[in-house]
């Protein structure tokens, strides 16, 4: 089994046509990306109910961008893989897309954006994909251009997969050199599966970092992200149907049967009543 | 590429470029979409937008009718102005064409609505 994607090929080659399609069809992948995107937007601490202008760094096929749209923001996405951007176009995402290499710097005017997010992209900048690439230099060019195109007081949140602590060190040192303050927020630090790294960078001077999830060692701390359940509830309400097996569901089903002309028992006070469990 | 995006794009990542703004546009295909009007967002963006650059871009595209030549005073409360700004910033899209660096003349092609800002190794 091959190891980390960034060791196999540069991102524009790894995310070719086939991989781009696979990535965007894999429901588990989609779910994980959506959860991480929502968490990243949460960590951005944007002003309440105000539509903001956000840049999505390494936007890929637009999965994270859709979260931004859902929350009412206007976004622009940059990615190095034209195959991934092609998928984003097919999915008709709202954000404007740009083909570009983050390590060459962001080609935007000063103060253009109110915030930046990046999901599962930053680790790709740590590798030399070409002889002339110097990761530290590319990271510095990236962070300093990002710093300048963010308006004062705005933040950049990066969810990424660091290979080791020296990579984290490399990334944070270049970010600090570029003028950012902030640091790493690690959600679910004690779970191998759920552990997620978020680099939270700020432009407005040192501020306290947001609290990480799943840090209490109490029994009742969930070992997964809490609001994934919230999404299901919202989905349920949106479909307008009652949850399975509840009394409402049973009554609806009986109504459906009557409309189909099937023989159905009359409804009574006993319909859908909770039964006492028996030992047979 | 919407005109809002064009308004914030520069070529300053290229070697030897000082400002790199605004980028010229030569468009072969332009589309006009319908985009939901968000007055709060437009109002805030107008503060960041370089209005003369927007006018020049709209002119290059041949879509400059009805675009006010300058930002009006008290624009936050002028819904008609905001709606016009919205139309030009968010509803006009360049599908195919080129963006041109004002200092080096270097072209950045736009294909299927996506500008290619990738620079060659010797350009950065």
- pTM for the model stands at 0.82
Which residues are CB-contacts of A120 (< 8 A; sequence separation ≥ 6)? A33, A36, A58, A159, A160, A161
Structure tokens at A122: 């930053």
Task: Tell me whether A116 touches chain B (CB under 8 Å).
Answer: no
Domains delineated in chain A: 8-203 (3.40.50.150), 226-260 (no CATH)
- Percent of chain B scoring above 90 in pLDDT: 86
Considering A203-217, A221-235, B58-72, the range whose residues carry the highest mean pLDDT is B58-72
pLDDT one-digit tens code per residue, B96-109: 999 999 999 999 99
Task: Indicate whether B43 belongs to any domain.
Answer: yes
Task: Indicate whether B60 belongs to any domain.
Answer: yes
Residue B124 pLDDT exceeds 60:
yes
Task: Tell me whether B12 touches chain A (CB under 8 Å).
Answer: yes
Task: Indicate whether B123 belongs to any domain.
Answer: no
Low-confidence winner among A10-14, A59-63, A175-179 (lowest mean pLDDT):
A10-14
Q: Is the dihedral of CA A118, A121, A125, A129 positive or negative?
A: negative
Q: What is the CATH number of the domain that holds B41?
A: 2.20.25.10
Q: What is the 3-state secondary structure (H, E, C) of chain A?
A: CCCCHHHCCCHHHHCCHHHHHHHHHCHHHHHHHHHHHHHHHHHHCCCCCCCCEEEEECCCCCHHHHHHHHCCCEEEEEECCHHHHHHHHHCCCCCEEEECCHHHCCCECCCCEEEEEEECCHHHHHCCCCCCCCHHHHHHHHHHHHHHHEEEEEEEEEEECCCCHHHHHHHHHHHHHCCCEEEEEEECCCCCCCCEEEEEEECCCCCCCCCCCCCCCCCCCCCCCCHHHHHHHHHHHHHCCCCCCCHHHHHHHHHHHHHCCCCCCCCCCCCCCCCCCCCC
Low-confidence winner among A12-16, A117-121, A152-156, A271-275 (lowest mean pLDDT):
A271-275
**Euclidean distance between CA atoms A40 and B9, whole angstroms:** 25
Per-residue model confidence (pLDDT) at position A1 = 44
Provide the 3-class DSSP secondary structure of residue B98: strand
**Mean per-residue pLDDT over chain B, rounded:** 94
Per-residue model confidence (pLDDT) at position A176 = 96
Residue A130 pLDDT exceeds 80:
no
Please state the domain count of chain B. 1
pLDDT one-digit tens code per residue, A54-108: 999 999 999 999 999 999 999 999 999 999 999 999 999 999 999 999 999 999 9
Per-residue model confidence (pLDDT) at position B46 = 94
Distances (CA, A) of A32 to A23, A239, B86: 12, 22, 34
Task: Tell me whether A153 touches chain B (CB under 8 Å).
Answer: no
Per-residue model confidence (pLDDT) at position A128 = 74
Per-residue model confidence (pLDDT) at position A49 = 86
**Which residue of A74, A98, A101 is in closest CB contact with B114?**
A98
Question: Whose structure tokens read 């601490």?
Answer: A45
**Mean per-residue pLDDT over chain A, rounded:** 87
pLDDT one-digit tens code per residue, A20-54: 888 777 888 889 999 999 999 999 999 888 999 99
At A229, is the pLDDT very low, low, confident or very high (cuts 50, 70, 90)? very low
- In terms of Cα–Cα distance, which of B91, B41, B74, B10 is closest to A114? B41
**Euclidean distance between CA atoms B93 and B89, whole angstroms:** 9
- Percent of chain B scoring above 70 in pLDDT: 100
Average pLDDT over residues B62-76: 89
Task: Tell me whether B41 touches chain A (CB under 8 Å).
Answer: yes
Task: Indicate whether B106 belongs to any domain.
Answer: yes
Residue A227 pLDDT exceeds 70:
no
- In terms of Cα–Cα distance, which of A150, A172, A157, A212 is closest to A40? A157
Cα of B73 to nearest chain A Cα, Å: 22
Per-residue model confidence (pLDDT) at position A218 = 54
Distances (CA, A) of A157 to A160, A181, A182: 10, 12, 10
Task: Indicate whether B120 belongs to any domain.
Answer: no
**Euclidean distance between CA atoms B69 and A136, whole angstroms:** 45
**Cross-strand partners of A54:** A75, A115
Question: Whose structure tokens read 């660096």?
Answer: B101
**Euclidean distance between CA atoms A176 and A183, whole angstroms:** 9
Q: Tell if the CB–CB gap between A96 and B50 is shorter than 8 Å.
A: no
Task: Indicate whether B82 belongs to any domain.
Answer: yes
Pairing mode, strands A96-99 and A74-79: parallel
Per-residue model confidence (pLDDT) at position A279 = 58
Cα of B39 to nearest chain A Cα, Å: 10
Task: Indicate whether B42 belongs to any domain.
Answer: yes
**Which residue of A74, A107, A108 is in closest CB contact with B41?**
A74
Cα of A146 to nearest chain B Cα, Å: 12
Residue A111 pLDDT exceeds 60:
yes
Per-residue model confidence (pLDDT) at position A272 = 85
Per-residue model confidence (pLDDT) at position A225 = 56
**Which residue of B2, B10, B116 is in closest CB contact with A99?**
B116
Task: Tell me whether B119 touches chain A (CB under 8 Å).
Answer: yes
Provide the 3-class DSSP secondary structure of residue B97: strand
Note down the domain range covering B36: 3-12+25-115
Q: Tell if the CB–CB gap between A96 and B4 is shorter than 8 Å.
A: yes
Residue B116 pLDDT exceeds 70:
yes
List of chain B residues whose C-beta atoms are within 8 Å of the C-beta of residue A130: 121
């Amino acid at each position: 089994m091959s190891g980390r994607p960034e060791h196999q090929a540069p991102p524009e080659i790894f995310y070719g046509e086939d991989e781009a399609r696979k990535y965007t069809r894999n429901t588990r992948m989609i779910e994980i990306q959506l959860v991480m995107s929502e968490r990243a937007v949460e960590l951005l601490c944007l002003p309440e109910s105000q539509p903001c202008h956000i840049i999505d760094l390494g936007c890929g096929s637009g999965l994270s961008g859709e979260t931004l749209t859902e929350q009412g923001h206007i976004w622009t996405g940059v990615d190095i893989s034209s195959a991934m951007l092609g998928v984003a176009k097919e999915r008709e995402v709202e954000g404007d897309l740009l083909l570009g290499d983050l390590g060459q710097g962001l080609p935007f005017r000063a103060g253009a954006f109110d915030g930046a997010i990046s999901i599962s992209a930053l680790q790709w900048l740590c590798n030399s994909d070409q002889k002339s690439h110097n990761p530290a230099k590319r990271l510095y060019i990236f962070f300093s251009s990002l710093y300048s195109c963010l308006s004062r007081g705005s933040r950049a949140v990066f969810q990424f997969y660091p290979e080791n602590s020296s990579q984290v060190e490399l990334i944070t040192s270049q970010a600090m050199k570029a003028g950012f303050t902030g640091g790493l927020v690690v959600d679910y630090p004690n779970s191998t599966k759920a552990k997620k790294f978020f680099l939270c960078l700020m432009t407005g001077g040192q501020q306290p970092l947001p609290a990480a999830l799943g840090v209490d060692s109490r029994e009742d701390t969930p070992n997964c992200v809490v609001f994934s359940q919230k999404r299901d509830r919202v989905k349920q309400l949106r479909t307008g149907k009652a949850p399975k097996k509840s009394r409402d569901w049973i009554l609806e089903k009986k109504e459906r049967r009557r409309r189909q002309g099937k023989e159905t028992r009359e409804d009574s006070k006993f319909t859908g009543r909770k039964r006492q469990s028996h030992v047979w | 590429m919407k005109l809002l995006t064009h308004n914030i794009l520069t070529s300053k990542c290229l070697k030897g470029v000082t400002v790199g703004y605004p980028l010229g546009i030569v468009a072969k295909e332009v589309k006009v979409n319908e985009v939901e009007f968000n007055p709060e967002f437009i109002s805030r963006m107008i503060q960041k937008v370089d209005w003369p650059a927007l006018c020049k871009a709209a002119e290059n595209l041949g879509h400059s009718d009805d675009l006010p030549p300058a930002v009006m005073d008290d624009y936050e409360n002028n819904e008609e102005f905001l709606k016009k700004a919205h139309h030009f910033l968010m509803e006009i899209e360049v599908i195919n064409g080129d963006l041109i660096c004002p200092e080096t003349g270097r072209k950045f092609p736009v294909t299927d609505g996506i500008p290619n800002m990738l620079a060659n190794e010797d350009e950065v």
